[in-house]
Amino acid sequence: MGHESGLRRCLVTVRVRFPAMCRHLALLIAISVLPSVLLFRAFDAATAPLPQPAGTVEESDLDRVRRGEKLAQAFCGSCHWKPPPEILPRKSWDFVVTWMGNLLGHEHREPPFFNLVRPEQIPQRPALSREDLESIRTYYRHAAPEHPRPQQAKPKLRDAALRFRTTKGPFELMNPPMVTLLRIDGAQGRVALGDGLANELLIFSSSGTLRERHRVNSQPIAVRFDPQGFVLTLIGDLDRDRRRGQIIRYLRQGNGYSIHPIVTGYHRISHALFEDLNGNGREDIVVSAFGDHDRGRFAWFENLGDGSYREHILIDRSGALNAVAHDFTGNGLPDLLVLLAQGRNELVLFKNRGDGQFERRQILEKFPGFGYHSLLAADIDGDAHLDLITVNGNNMEIPNAPRRSYHGIRVYRNDGRLNFEEKYFYPMHGAIQAAAADFNQNGLLDLAVISYFPDWSLDHPESFLVLDNQGDFRFTPYTLRETSNGRWMRLDTADLNGDGMPDIMLGNGLNESGVPADQLEDFRRHVARSPAVLVLLNTQSKPDRVPQP
């Protein structure tokens, strides 16, 4: 994006005179792979009123609007994309400008901003005058639409009742349920659940019999089973980063386990994956540590072979959501793709050059507030190249947050030469996670998707759907009425009952954080009898094969 020479000088001035501010500006938060709960105590919907600008939009002259636009480009656009005014309705920009004003030296940390800004992030010397900050506010209020923009037209949801049969299953958790981990191990006939209220890992048989209960000191978010036991990832804290993230190995010993910490005292961890990155035959660990505010990390831990690990930092900022390891470059070494939020909503590739060396390349970037949640890699078109699926739908920080038309699921085609083209978009308010499986066994991978911030005012909120792959990046959406009564936070798919067909499990995260005040009654009505876990057993038995060319 080009800039006039004067504006360039302004940007340079911002970076040179206020380097700490530049780091802090990248904070229009989009929460991690547990997005709905990472800051679920961030604000109280019943909060003090926001400070209002000196004059209404109608009273502002165009000169002030134009000046506000230039200031927004200079200060907001110096560290990330300048947020387009149309991404939020007019009334939401007062909250956002006041929030961001803290990072420009104009302190306002009363609720609901108290947990959104750390005191150390507020420059002692304001970066711009109060009048200039109000000019930015005037610009956004003038240029923003009065109401949230509607979703683009999309196909009507079809009924999946003939494809899946729902059952609540006997999986018991504390009430209200907060499922922070959900993993189906079809090969061993077991299901792992993380109880975020009790801080427990629960391992059930596939029929729901409790086999193991492990009490931990934080919310479990991921488990990886292996023949020796399992590796458990703990987020640390849901509400903020207290450097308590952990990765722990449980080695089976007789009738129990010996416990061996691998990573301790880390930023809030949102994801961990295991891959031999340097080709020495030892499995390393890639950690996405979302953290919070301006503190977090994306790093890999080199397995030294003696039970110890050495950290290698790839990105030293907050916002890492989850990563994928795959040889995208074709040199025989696994590369890393990581999705990040926190101001810079971006997808970054780290090309593996061998000997533990990586070359960084940005694949794509979206505007602040885009609300990334998770990344998935799957061969959607069957050309042997892993395509990318991104899910965005965070809607947590703004009290009584508006619905956002750009939330949803996007599929990017991989041409095998590191070019990723968006080929499909399905709008879905508050989308949080997707999983890929060939549910009808026609040779094409379908997508199952959940939402944590649907429109609760609807008779049947769009909380879950299956996108049936028709080929050529065309999908038909299906849902089940029973799924509209859950606030699903976790999703997994695998063969649960041994019939050779992939089933689906949904894990509930029932709290009222982020639910607009005018939808609270609807929300409570919908989830009144919602189970901790909903099982969707695949009843399809006659696959319709796609003719091969």
Does position 26 have pLDDT exceeding 60, yes or no?
Answer: no
Within this chain, do residues 254 and 360 fall inside the same structural domain, yes or no? Answer: yes
Number of domains in the chain: 2
The residue segments making up the domain with residue 226 are 216-364
What is the reported pLDDT for 25?
A: 33
8 Å CB contact between 423 and 413: yes
Within this chain, do residues 236 and 323 fall inside the same structural domain, yes or no? Answer: yes
Q: What CA–CA distances, in Å, run from 101 to 97, 294, 424?
A: 6, 16, 36
- Would you tell me how many other CB atoms lie within 10 Å of the CB of residue 198? 15
Q: What CA–CA distances, in Å, run from 541 to 78, 312, 448, 500?
A: 55, 48, 19, 9
Phi, psi (degrees; rounded to nearest 5) at 524: -60, -40
Within this chain, do residues 133 and 253 fall inside the same structural domain, yes or no? Answer: no
What are 347's two structure tokens? 């997808």
271 is a domain residue = yes
pLDDT tens-digit readout, 253-292: 999 999 999 999 999 999 999 999 999 999 999 999 999 9
Among the three residues 118, 143, 168, which one is the final residue of a domain in this structure?
143
456 is a domain residue = no
**Residue at 134: amino acid letter:** E
pLDDT tens-digit readout, 100-138: 999 999 999 998 898 888 899 999 999 999 999 999 999
- Domain with residue 255: its CATH number is 2.130.10.10
pLDDT tens-digit readout, 306-353: 999 999 999 999 999 999 999 999 999 999 999 999 889 999 999 999
44 is a domain residue = no
**Average pLDDT rounded to a whole number, residues 485-513:** 96
Please give the share of the chain, as a percent, with pLDDT higher than 70. Answer: 88
**Average pLDDT rounded to a whole number, residues 293-318:** 96
414 is a domain residue = no
What is the reported pLDDT for 433?
A: 98
Within this chain, do residues 228 and 358 fall inside the same structural domain, yes or no? Answer: yes
Within this chain, do residues 224 and 359 fall inside the same structural domain, yes or no? Answer: yes
Q: For residues 126 and 21, give the distance between their C-alpha atoms in angstroms, rounded to a whole number.
A: 10
248 is a domain residue = yes
Does position 465 have pLDDT exceeding 60, yes or no?
Answer: yes
Within this chain, do residues 223 and 139 fall inside the same structural domain, yes or no? Answer: no
Q: For residues 486 and 508, give the distance between their C-alpha atoms in angstroms, rounded to a whole number.
A: 6
Q: What angle do CA 528, 514, 236 make, to 5 degrees?
A: 100
What is the reported pLDDT for 344?
A: 92
335 is a domain residue = yes
What is the reported pLDDT for 111?
A: 87
Phi, psi (degrees; rounded to nearest 5) at 356: 75, 15
Among the three residues 336, 364, 392, which one is the final residue of a domain in this structure?
364
Does position 55 have pLDDT exceeding 50, yes or no?
Answer: no
What is the reported pLDDT for 79?
A: 77
Least confident of 25-39, 59-73, 83-97, 506-520: 25-39
Among the three residues 318, 344, 364, which one is the final residue of a domain in this structure?
364
Task: Give the pLDDT band (50/70/90) at residue 54.
Answer: very low
Least confident of 14-18, 61-65, 350-354: 14-18
Within this chain, do residues 117 and 226 fall inside the same structural domain, yes or no? Answer: no
pLDDT tens-digit readout, 165-197: 999 978 989 999 999 999 999 999 999 999 999
**Average pLDDT rounded to a whole number, residues 436-458:** 97
What is the reported pLDDT for 543?
A: 56
240 is a domain residue = yes
**Average pLDDT rounded to a whole number, residues 452-458:** 97
**Average pLDDT rounded to a whole number, residues 28-41:** 38
What is the reported pLDDT for 15?
A: 35
Q: What angle do CA 452, 458, 459 make, to 5 degrees?
A: 115
131 is a domain residue = yes
Task: Give the pLDDT band (50/70/90) at residue 147.
Answer: very high
Q: What angle do CA 534, 537, 540 make, to 5 degrees?
A: 150
